[in-house]
A and B are shown apart, each in its own frame.
Chain A
């Protein structure tokens, strides 16, 4: 098969990506304390020939308000590097990508830990670089406040350069190749043998200008959130266009937008499934999320079945605020309806439909120059990953758009990435 085929990531997140997933009867409610659940998910994704498992991460709880947090499942879960190290020896082919922050780690330790994961998995590890924008995380690391965006990216650039130099065996103080920079100093090479795949795969997700530039310089894979084909294509063209400046070719980066599918045999069943999930969103949680989108704090004062009140203009997130207000007026939605709408999808590309409808949409973006693959975000686990693997993957395979078996053994081979020099 020489035709270009799409890459697929299985984005694992506790009980599921839908904010109310944990309340669904077919979700595994104890996912965050059950390693066997994750072994099942990993094997399901591997049997379906996914390129990789992907774990999000934050070094802190997600929601500061304990009352709101206690109505979601996201305050506890496995730390992803230990989780993926456990899964590494329970799987044989699938890639293992974990997020880790450049703001709250040191490059020597991070490079060493991911290289160890790479050895445990025989060349299947990847690192998703994030700079961490949450003040909840910052408070766990002695900061008096979050670092400004520009500083975070400056640190991330230096961090990524040191990690890459360590992985490529190009850092050694004894030969005058130590690192003594603005944020970090490192003297010795890593004390582990070099990677079975040349170097672990570098993944990134930042969509800002600084984020795109850093990705163009260092990333092998980029995850994005894009609602429409036009939006996805604009991002795709922009990022691929930045590569030449760093001496790289367009195919050196794989761009994989996130997709939050809800799949069922018929469209009516898929819609019912979606509705069932939306009904499970606790009002407090929905209103809290909607409030954060609108950058206001007192939305709970208004009747939940009434319309959105007139809102003063605010500084933060103006485009998203306008989008919410416009939708509430256009569709005549109550606060509750609006909250459910936004809390459920969280700004990701939601497709509700049959396997063929989902495959059509993926094909259109893949062939339309808007994606090299997709990071699949099942609404609840294990049910919706099982469904995607059983119904959508075979459809994509029949169309010749996705592999029917692994051709290589490392993550770099799955993704069609060059081995670093």
Chain B
């Protein structure tokens, strides 16, 4: 198309002004992709880790269980229903029992959650195999904790800590647990304030034999039981908090992306206004040579929009190696970043999805098309005789 050829010629002929606009827009383009890639990478890592360590493919909850209300923990336990037990037998579900407790590390008092999990389970990434019992000591309770918990309680592997709890009848009891393993996880919700012990041991200690608070379902589980009293929470429901946090992060990223894009687009808009103001004689000449005004509008719009195509090419030229390097090496997160309550790895590996890149390309092209078109509307109102005289419009 003639307009594309002419637009490119005009742009390249404008020299430095074009390249300044293109550079600014290419920076915005690359930063938007980087920023979204970071969030997508973090989101993917956090989602995968949360699934692997905490939520599995879904969970069946005791009807009274509400993880946000600790007062429900005392009553939210019962024997699992047959359908869920059948899944457990096939190793497609693993039960977890929760009870509130108090720990006394170094004579201090700390509120904790005692969680019972089967040492043989393979559904969650928690290293439950470290919960090795000592057959010679009937009072021995192996326990594993996350490294955040270990740090907070100043506990090391092999050390003991006194734990006190109430059983199903409301009777207080206390015992020392031995830390047999400290695990490192990016998922703070299975770490902070929690001590994991063997499920059967916890059931015995709390007089809740065969009972559980919830059951985690394996991703390989096929037919899930229907019409159970226990409530099934699917992957989406369990990851809702994470999705909400990510949505909020995406919202703030959109604000930053919009600001960046606005700065770049403002430069194009400004150039377009200036072009139409300065190039009136040229516009008149185009019309005198046989172009319709609409065709001149199209030419100037394409000219402005071509900035975005050039910016994408330039952005790819310098941005692609940089983004790929960042993807290969990851972005190290500051120490204690995981205290934010969301799963954050030591390094975030950005993920540049095809859809996100295409959406960014479309956003840049369409928005530059709009800001390029807006000022050209003046041309359609311009009288060719005035344009030829360079008379202000």
Question: Are A and B associated in one complex?
Answer: no
